[in-house]
Amino acid sequence: MKYSLGRRAKLTCCGEQVEMTMRTESIMGNLEPALHTVTLVFSQCHPNVDLDLLPDPAGEEPTNRFLQALVQILLTHVNSTFDRTSKVLDFHHPHQLKEGLEGFSLELPDRPENLEQLLVDCRDTLKYGVKTGHPRFFNQLSSGLDIIGMAGEWLTSAANTNIFTFEISPVFILMEEVLLKKLREKVGWPPVEGDGVFCPGGSMSNLYSILLARYSYFPEVKMHGMAVIPRLALFTSEHVIPDILVAELPQTDRLPGRLCKCSHYSIRKAAGVLGIGIENVFLCVKLTPQTLLCSSQGLVPFYINATAGTTVYGAFDPLNEIAEICERHGLWMHVDAAWGGGLLMSRKHAGKLQGIERASSVTWNPHKMMGVPLQCSVILMRQKGLLQDCNQLCAEYLFQPDKHYDVAYDTGDKSIQCGRHVDVFKLWLMWKAKGSEGFGSQVNQCLENADYLFNKLENRADFELVFKNKPEHSNVCFWYIPHSLRKMSRGLEWNKKLHEVAPKIKTKMMEEGMVMVGYQPLGEKPNFFRCVFSNPATTREDVDFLVDEITRLGQDL
């Protein structure tokens, strides 16, 4: 349906008839003329829009029309997100955006601006942003724009409540319960037991896991603090490529903190926050000797984080082996499956997480591999009641025990955040829309794209894979080797030059804006590209496009 210029209609606005050049049907059509007309009507009648919207007694019509105009802008954005001829981003430097591009001012006024300006601001905000749902956005673990998920977020904000008590969030509290149970089932735990809570991101979920583990071994820490418990050591494994890192490890000394640079960021951050100290996070290669070493130095090991799907390589730890170590030494086993958890939805790939059912806690971010809009992360626990015991303070002024309904559903005291944003509805609605099976197919498709890219690069002289093995997850790590380097003999100088290649290509890529992929160094390895697939919109043609673009942008390097 297209906008028919010249068709006129009369619209009553503030009790007066206003002539519109737009039929209402055109709301389904092009943005610009529709937007122009709607805002024209508004700017004639509503110099101070905000006060004319609801709750103003005459606010219903202006509110509906304003939101319809906004939805037009959003639909245009959504449609162009999936349009391959449209850019992924329209890059500008921070100072350019701050100076105000084409009238787009970030500064905040004392006096209200009118509706027309607000809609233009909305359009500009999207224009200068990054289309993370674009089929050629390969930059982050979270990508894609799931329509049902977005619809879920729209409803969540219209409901505008806090998942704190059953009293103010009856439906969402129950949805959280249903989802937690379903996710625990996928982990492989008996679904009736167990616990969990949706968290603001995977780092917080991991923090919860350490907090819970510490409380489980040393419940006195809650009341009396770290001063009354032994010094703790915890172990993690992110990015562990045993053959590299074992060589780096001093075998006889206690591992200095700096060696933990490869362990996941969030485990170290949490150790800092919780008062355990970053240096007490150890790599968990050669675990048993280290465990003993810690004990002999007065550190008490209590927790191992195994990673199911590392951020850069997409690697999976051998969960059963780690589970055995944990069981033997009485340690808490946490699995950070923020990225890898999605694979549990696929019959084909769930086996990569074998052993996860032996964990005491699991982090899983549906906003990554399952494509749920940001944020949606969960910490799951095998043991029921621990989360409540660890965090509750029973403040009667927040949680009244004498309510007329079953107050076991007032879950706010389980969390450290007290009130929480409702992150469950979008996932619940997507699950209804796709079914478990739909999530499974989506995951399979992403991993097929990774396979396709891996196979393609394997046979190219101008690319080199960081690992020769097939990717376990959807991460494919590779270098582009420009002409000038292909003839050079390898060594320090070569590495140094190669290190500069990815940033140079990335710069051009962002300036042109047709595709986005991330890069980073890791350990001794110079900067390499990491391509990840989590967007169901991506096809093989998009993978081809990425490879062609890198080749084109890097040809003169």
Of residues 313-332, which lie at the interface with a second copy (CB under 8 A)?
none
Cβ 173 to a second copy, closest distance in Å? 8
Q: Does 484 engage in binding with a second copy (CB under 8 A)?
A: no
Q: Assess 196 for contact with a second copy (CB under 8 A).
A: no
One symbol per residue from 86 to 105: x for binding a second copy (CB under 8 A), - otherwise; what is it? ---x-xxxxx-xx-------
From the list 40, 45, 182, 383, which residue makes contact with a second copy (rule: CB under 8 A)? 182
Asked if 49 interacts with a second copy (CB under 8 A), we say yes
Half-sphere exposure of 409 (CA within 13 A, CB side): 17
Rounded CA-CA distance 430/438 in Å is 9
Name the helix (H) or strand (E) containing 520. strand 516-522
Contacts of the segment 396-402: beta carbons below 8 A, 24+ positions apart: 399/165
Interface mask (CB under 8 A) for a second copy, residues 268-307, using x and -? xxxxxxxxxxxxx---------------------------
Task: State the minimum distance, in angstroms, from the CB of residue 45 to a second copy.
Answer: 16
Distance of alpha carbon 372 from alpha carbon 58, whole angstroms: 37
Radius of gyration, CA atoms only, the chain: 27
Q: Is 30 in the site for a second copy (CB under 8 A)?
A: no
DSSP for 339-366? Answer: TTGGGGG-TTTGGGGTTGGG-SEEEE-T
Binding to a second copy (CB under 8 A) within 508-527 occurs at 510, 519-522, 527
Sign of the alpha-carbon torsion through 155, 414, 377, 278: positive
What is the separation of C-alpha 371 from the centre of its chain, rounded to a whole number of angstroms?
A: 9
33 lies in the binding site for a second copy (CB under 8 A): no
CB of 452 to a second copy, least distance (A): 17
For 116, 187, 214, 235, the CA distances from 31, given in Å and listed in that order, are 14, 45, 55, 54
151 CB neighbour count, 10 Å cutoff: 16
- Name the residue with tokens 């809609």: 119
Binding mask 140-179 for a second copy (x = CB under 8 A): x-x-xx-xx-xx-xxxxxxxxxx---xxxxxxxxxx--xx
Rule CB under 8 A: say whether 448 interacts with a second copy: no
Please list every residue from 111 through 140 that binds a second copy, using CB under 8 A: 111-113, 117-118, 121-122, 125-126, 128-130, 132-133, 135, 139-140
How far is Cα 372 from Cα 376, in angstroms, rounded to an integer?
7
- Residue 547 CB, nearest approach to a second copy (Å): 20
Nearer Cβ to a second copy (16/461): 16
**Which residues inside 234-273 make contact with a second copy, applying CB under 8 A?**
239, 257, 261, 265-266, 268-273
- Nearest distance from residue 87's CB to a second copy, in Å? 13
Residue closer to a second copy, measured from CB, 145 or 331: 145
